[in-house]
Chain A
């Protein structure tokens, strides 16, 4: 595999190992990964939030239109002038068509915006993934055999209020409970509708790393396997500072609702613009992640220990 690197290769290898091997990451890495993975928004949550926002938007538009009609009706100018002004609209429209500069640029801008939206909808893989997961989650939760099963059951509070797809908890939804056996920590998944374990989702014992004693057991949890391992005291705490924040990564956007709803250009009446109340975008509570009480600290040799 490796070619002979000369005398400097071994020296460099040793120096890099001496620098990097003492580094010990924080023990809550798996929990943080779980939180981020569970916090990904789903399409149904987005749609439900938009459906909540849409009636308010329509109500606002109707109010604008109503105030415009009222202002037009209250116009003291004679009716003949208004009729004359209305008769001039076709001529104005034809004049605009003769001058492309008047309408071409807004049209192109609108078409470009529409194309960008369509491209973003089609090409953003996260959105496509959410659609797939939403579709699959809807079917899996009916049968009670959720493939992912991150949603909490009755034993755990929280859950995805949007009730969408991936983290939805069906009759067979699962909740995470932890119990320690010996040194290692085991995590079990139980059925959401009761205290019985879900036989379809709880698998056999799959330990990962070397185990300190034969009495330790590890059961597979919803997230996979939580292997028993040696306890590792003194794991460093979570990094609180750093120049890199997860929000800077475009792939990890944990916001669950569209904060900026599509806005329409304000249509104001020609005479008296009505005062429209400020519309607030809908806010839906983000999907809460189940409380995971067990963290796995990876070790070099493949074993894991509770952090």
Chain B
């Protein structure tokens, strides 16, 4: 499931009972007359999981990804009245998730630089899931990419966004999106060849 791309959701089977309003929310566009609570609930139901996965690929941590996405939802709820175009609520959410994931990584660099090494603890179930997530060669290769390239790669090849949507989410131009994607792909090519 992609992060609410119209093309992707167009192929999604929609139940007969599902109303037009609900399908609009699934597409990421929310009617302007909806209040923040209703819009957040609808967008949560449709896109929360996909956004968490998108953020998890960026921050490499599911719990942190959940926090990031929840923060984005809270921020959108707070600024719902100032949101000019509610049709672009999903774009707003996606951009917020990308920016907050970037902030998390930036903060993590500082923390890792200054924090003392904790003693090794017994692995928990969550830790097991995280390590399984971390063991992926693609994720490991993504970690070594620069942040912009990683974001472009994830938004393009996991979220299936167009270049314009990626540019909007990352706040860069389409040419920069092309450049980051091409460089990231060339860096990942070795890993992908091994995977193949």
Contacts and interface: CB of A to CB of B under 8 A. Distances in A.
Interface string A243-254: 111101101100
B32 interface: no
A246 B138 contact: no
Interface string A1-25: 1100101110111011111110111
B41 A40 contact: no
A129 B18 contact: no
B67 A226 contact: no
B42 A15 contact: no
B94 interface: no
A249 B63 contact: no
Interface string B154-173: 10111010100000000000
A126 B74 CA distance: 12
Interface in B68-115: 68-71, 73-75, 77-79, 81-82, 100, 103-104, 107-108, 111
B104 A302 contact: no
B195 A246 contact: no
Interface string B41-71: 1101111111011101101011111111111
A239 interface: yes
Contacts of A211: 15, 17
Interface residues of A, number: 72
A296 B81 contact: no
Contact of A242 (B54, B63, B188): B63
A208 B48 contact: no
Most buried by B among A2, A21, A25, A149: A25
B124 to A, nearest CB: 8
Contact of A239 (B35, B103, B111, B126): B126
A132 to B, nearest CB: 7
Interface in A120-170: 125-126, 129, 132, 147-150
Contacts of B59: 244
**Which size bracket describes the interface of B in this complex?**
35 or more
Contacts of A208: 18, 22, 25-26, 42, 45-46
B52 A25 contact: yes
Contacts of B74: 33, 36-37, 251-252
A96 B9 CA distance: 74
B7 A1 contact: yes
A13 B157 contact: yes
Interface of B: 1, 5, 7, 9, 12-15, 17-19, 21-23, 25-26, 34-42, 44-50, 52-54, 56-57, 59, 61-71, 73-75, 77-79, 81-82, 100, 103-104, 107-108, 111, 126, 129, 133, 136-139, 153-154, 156-158, 160, 162, 185, 188-189, 192, 195-196
Given A29-B48, A36-B71, A301-B1, 18 more contacts: A8-B188, A11-B196, A15-B192, A18-B136, A20-B54, A21-B53, A23-B65, A29-B66, A37-B73, A147-B35, A207-B17, A208-B26, A225-B41, A226-B41, A227-B22, A239-B67, A240-B63, A248-B107
